[in-house]
């Protein structure tokens, strides 16, 4: 099963994978429909893009929901968005493989087959990058902020006021004010422009 909001990608992947004796049983074009479609189709492997919907990496949230609702789902991340922090986060959340869209389709097909057989796949380049990333340490918001803080951070980076964020998250402005100040202190940044640049750098919002 393919989860991607670009019909041409779904069509192209379906054609390419068929040449490697892999059948696409269906697709989902929105993050909200992935879990239900997966439950209905019961595919062996889900190929999941990270870019979904508006204003963020919805695919990571979908991945977390898949792991919560299904026992050891076999999920292959297939995306053009391949920054080190996101690769590590995807594996932490339960992905069995991370394949950049620049990868040869034959390698994607091989990864899908290996994941279907129960393996966790690390392409050589991905493995090297994760190793270097581990040595350098992680100062990204993904690593330093709690889930709710991360959500507030993304809204802050988009330029929303505390009141607007409070309305979006159904929380009190005072709670958001306290949380936003904590986020700024943790990241050592207090200008919205700096927060926006940091969020773009780590792929948390669109540039």
Express each pLDDT in 167-200 by its tens digit: 999 999 999 999 999 999 988 899 999 999 988 8
Q: Is a pLDDT exceeding 60 seen at residue 81?
A: yes
pLDDT in tens, 147-163: 889 899 999 999 999 99
Q: How far apart are CA 29 and CA 8, in angstroms?
A: 11
pLDDT in tens, 100-145: 988 999 999 999 999 999 999 999 989 987 887 666 555 678 777 8
Using a cut of 0.75, tell me whether the model's pTM lies above it.
no
Residues near 127 by Cβ (< 8 Å), separated by ≥ 6? none
Q: Is a pLDDT exceeding 60 seen at residue 90?
A: yes
């Amino acid at each position: 099963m393919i989860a991607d909001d670009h019909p041409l990608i779904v069509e192209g992947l379906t054609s390419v994978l068929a040449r490697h004796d892999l059948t696409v049983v269906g697709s989902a074009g929105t993050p909200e429909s992935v879990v239900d479609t997966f439950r209905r189709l019961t595919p062996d492997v889900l190929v999941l893009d990270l870019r979904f919907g508006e204003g963020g990496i919805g695919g990571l949230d979908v991945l977390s929901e898949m792991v919560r609702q299904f026992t050891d789902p076999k999920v292959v991340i297939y995306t053009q968005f391949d920054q080190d922090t996101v690769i590590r986060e995807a594996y932490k959340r339960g992905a069995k493989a991370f394949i950049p869209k620049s990868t040869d389709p034959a390698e994607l097909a091989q990864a899908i087959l290996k994941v279907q057989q129960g393996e966790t796949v690390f392409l050589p380049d991905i493995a090297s990058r994760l190793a270097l990333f581990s040595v350098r340490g992680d100062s990204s918001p993904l690593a330093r902020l709690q889930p709710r803080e991360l959500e507030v951070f993304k809204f802050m980076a988009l330029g929303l006021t505390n009141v607007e964020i409070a309305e979006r998250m159904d929380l009190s402005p005072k709670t958001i004010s306290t949380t936003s100040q904590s986020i700024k202190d943790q990241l050592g940044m207090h200008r919205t422009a700096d927060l926006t640049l940091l969020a773009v750098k780590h792929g948390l919002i669109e540039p």
